[in-house]
Amino acid sequence: MALIVSAGLPTCMEGLSYPVPFADPDAIIRIAQHAERLGYHSVWGNDHMTTQRYVRAEFAVPPRFWEPLVTYAFIAAATTSLRLGTGVLVLPMRRDIVVLAKQIATLDHFSGGRLEIGVGVGAYREEFEALAPDSEARRGDMVEEGVKALHALFADRVSSFDGRYYRFRDVELFPKPRQPHLPIYFGGNSENHLRRVAESADGWIPAAMEAERLRRHVARLKELAAGAGRDAATIAVAPQFVVHVGRNHEAAVTRFRETQMYKHLMSLRQSTLKQQTAAMEDLNLIGGVDAVIAKALRLREVGVTHLLGLYFAVNSVPELLDQMQLFAEEITPKIAA
């Protein structure tokens, strides 16, 4: 089975995965166009609303966090076939689900039906607390309920919803998305997401998960999907990994550890990656060409169907473009055939 390969887009990655400054609007569009020329299936941008405390402590100048849906409107006009995904859209920070549904449907039409939506709780609870300081909401429950509300708005001519976090009445949202079925993925490593994916999503987006753990989760996902009356083959297993391809393993690891991406991954040991104990270069696609090919084929063997939003560990846009090209020319043909 061939692997789908897509690239990460640095919409909200300054100060986190990349230095400040990193990518201005022209650079973001250039990265997306580069991905299209190289044959990447899609680009996947992340979502932040305010600067994390540890980033403020490291950088004197604030990072530029570009809102992904607005960014994609410009990218859609500058590309023709590249698909556009959110990896992930943080639903708990987007409190008006009807407005969000309208934005998604509009963007799907203006992009020619090229939109895919990944949703999640967000890596930093402090960010949610900054936007909703008095809330005691369970973010995972908010995401699950939000997806149910989106499905209702997209499927029913007139819809009403009375949930704990989202409520609306007698809404005729039109036009619906251009795609008859707009793909929605759940992002996150928590096992709770497997149930959510099995019941109502088109795919699962874990982050930097070792192959054997992925194998166990894929087996569990298949069980849950069968219990929900769904064909697991229709559900994408689409993990995100960090990539740096070097002339050999040692060179790749050395460069990887020099990047802002490495610092970011270590910070995530307190949240998204708190269950990960292996070295970051072992968890991710770090190494020479042959080693990265072997890792990717191993992931395919355990059930991965889509390398979603590969995030290249670099400290400049030119280096990012070079890494994207190296992966597309030397690795993708060996794993996507």
| Spatial contact of 67 and 28, defined as CB atoms under 8 Å apart | no
Mean pLDDT of 9-37: 97
Share of the chain above pLDDT 70, in %: 97
Which of 102-106, 206-210, 321-325 shows the lowest mean pLDDT across its residues? 206-210
Average pLDDT, the chain: 95
Rounded alpha-carbon distances, angstroms, from residue 318 to 45, 262, 315: 18, 19, 9
168-177, 210-219, 268-277: which range is least confident on average?
Answer: 268-277
Pairing of strands 83-90, 203-205: unpaired
Least confident interval from 126-135, 220-229, 264-273, 274-283 = 264-273
CATH number corresponding to 4-335: 3.20.20.30
For residue 39, pLDDT over 80 is answered with: yes
Residue 271 pLDDT class (50, 70, 90 cuts): low
pLDDT-based confidence at 208, cuts 50/70/90? Answer: confident
Q: Give the span between the Cα atoms of 230 and 326, in whole angstroms.
A: 38
Runs of H (alpha helix) within the chain: 25-38, 53-58, 68-78, 97-110, 125-131, 139-155, 192-200, 211-227, 249-257, 260-267, 280-283, 289-301, 317-330, 332-335
Give the residues across from 198 on adjacent strands. none
Mean pLDDT of 231-247: 97
Whether residue 254 has pLDDT greater than 80: yes
The pLDDT confidence band at residue 12, using thresholds 50, 70 and 90, is very high
| Both structure tokens of 109 | 């039409």
Domain range annotation of the chain = 4-335
Q: Can you tell me the distance from the alpha carbon of 111 to that of 175, in angstroms, rounded to the nearest whole number?
A: 14
Q: What is the mean pLDDT of residues 181-185?
A: 98
Phi, psi of 110 (to 5 degrees): -70, -20
Q: What pLDDT, on a 0 to 100 scale, did the predictor assign at position 276?
A: 64
- pLDDT confidence tier of residue 318, bands split at 50, 70 and 90: very high
pLDDT of residue 303: 97
Residue 199's pLDDT is what? 94
Task: List the one residue out of 197, 200, 214 whose CA is nearest residue 275.
Answer: 214
Q: What is the rounded average pLDDT of the residues 257-279?
A: 78
| Chain centre to alpha carbon of residue 156 | 27
Burial tier of 160 (Cβ tally within 10 Å: 0-12, 13-18, 19+): exposed
Q: Strand pairing partners for 18?
A: 14
| pLDDT computed for residue 283 by the predictor | 92
% of the chain at pLDDT higher than 90 = 90
The pLDDT confidence band at residue 232, using thresholds 50, 70 and 90, is very high
**Whole-number Å distance between alpha carbons of 99 and 3:** 34
Which pLDDT tens digit goes with each residue over 56-112?
Answer: 999 999 999 999 999 999 999 999 999 999 999 999 999 999 999 999 999 999 999
